[in-house]
Amino acid sequence: MRPCPRSPSREVGCDETAPAAQCAVRRGVTTQIPDVVRECGGAAALVVTDHGVLAARVVDRVLDALDVPRSVYVTGSACATEVAACRDALPGHDGVIAVGGGSVIDVAKAAVALFGAEGPLESLYGLDQVRGPAMPLVAVPTTPGSGGEVSSHAVVTDGDRRHAVSGAPLVPRAVVIDPDLAVTLPYPATLACALDALMHGAEAYLARAATPFSDALALPGVRRIVSSLLTPDRVELSAGCLQANLAMAQANAGLVHALGYPLTQRYGIPHGIANVTVAPAVLRASRHAQEQRDAELAECFGTPDLACGLTAFLDRLGVERDFPAGDADQLAADALHYRPVRANWRFEATVDDIAAMYRSAA
């Protein structure tokens, strides 16, 4: 596929220029995927998906709509071996359509990066390492949105560490968000993904790298997610997650994500749940550094205190949040590895500060 016309934007947290994806959010928009592919000059597409999406026959709706030659690659988790295997399936195609959640989109983006690279996947780890032209990618999320559908990076697990594969060429050429594709998604997965987007919006608003543009997306996104999770309204949820994720793509995440990653790695806690598990403790410890912005976010929860409002909201949703408090020191050491998001916070937390946050959250 040839690149679609796009306007430039700035992903401040990653210190790189990231072109903005074209986004469409409405029921039934999946039927317009052929128009999107044609607009990008596609002649042969690799559809990347996972076993769950395939079993739910969600991907069939995309395949039925396509009118160009296509083949399907089914991936597992977003790990280095899956990325290499997906890269090996790319020859003979001129574009990729990722149909699935965050892991599927991450695998597809990292595979595209590896396909155009001269070195191994490890040479792409870090911010802004993908600089050359990349095979165009269209993202079709089957969850409310992980953020990968509008960002310039993918997250890949290699051994016991998570690495960013990042660069402006990895921003999807287009994002097609059909809320009906998420109907078969189990509620716990929907909730975890929506809460991840909620924290994307909140952290983008509190980030050092926040801009007037990211602010204009973050607050409405958080407000929409809160409202739609209580309603529930899948169209509003998808729109709110998109707004929050676009804010994160501009301003990056913060300290909550730095503490959330180790909970997922050590205990397998879903990423979105891991983030909200530590978020109230992080927000309480950081409030002195961002009181005005905390108060403005708190209004989205109908309370003057952000940490208390978020806690009450999570309790109302029945979100279970638990992990071994005795591991706080090791978790804090793990969190130090995520320097870019830690450095994007207005409160420079020490390892002792972080350990105290984990103990408070457990």
Q: What is the largest CA-CA distance in the chain?
A: 57
pLDDT at position 347 is 93
Q: Is the peptide bond before 220 cis (omega within 30 degrees of 0)?
A: no
Looking only at the bridges linking them, the beta strands covering 45-50 and 70-75 are parallel
Residues near 173 by Cβ (< 8 Å), separated by ≥ 6? 1, 3, 4, 6, 21, 22, 40, 136, 137, 138
pLDDT at position 41 is 64
Distance separating alpha carbons of residues 296 and 275, to the nearest angstrom: 20
Distances (CA, A) of 328 to 117, 160, 162, 281: 39, 18, 19, 13
User: Going from the N-terminus, what domains does the chain have, and what CATH number goes with each?
Assistant: 8-182 (3.40.50.1970), 187-361 (1.20.1090.10)
Cβ-count burial of 348 within 10 angstroms (0-12 exposed, 13-18 middle, 19+ buried)? Answer: exposed
Name the H helices within the chain: 33-39, 51-55, 58-65, 80-88, 102-115, 187-206, 212-230, 234-251, 255-267, 271-286, 291-298, 306-317, 328-335, 339-343, 351-361
Residues near 172 by Cβ (< 8 Å), separated by ≥ 6? 21, 98, 105, 109, 137, 138, 139, 149, 150
Distances (CA, A) of 162 to 79, 154, 262, 265: 9, 10, 9, 8
For each of the chain's 362 residues, which pLDDT tens digit applies? 433 433 323 222 233 333 446 777 888 888 888 888 777 766 789 999 999 999 999 899 889 888 888 899 999 999 999 999 999 999 999 999 999 999 999 999 999 999 999 899 999 999 899 988 889 999 999 998 789 999 999 999 998 888 999 999 999 999 999 988 888 889 999 999 999 999 999 999 999 999 999 999 999 999 999 999 998 888 999 999 999 999 999 999 999 999 999 999 999 999 999 999 999 999 999 999 999 999 999 999 999 999 999 999 999 999 999 999 899 999 999 999 999 999 999 999 999 999 999 999 99
Q: What share of the chain is helix, strand, coil (3-state, %, to 5)?
A: 55, 15, 30
pTM: 0.88
pLDDT at position 36 is 83
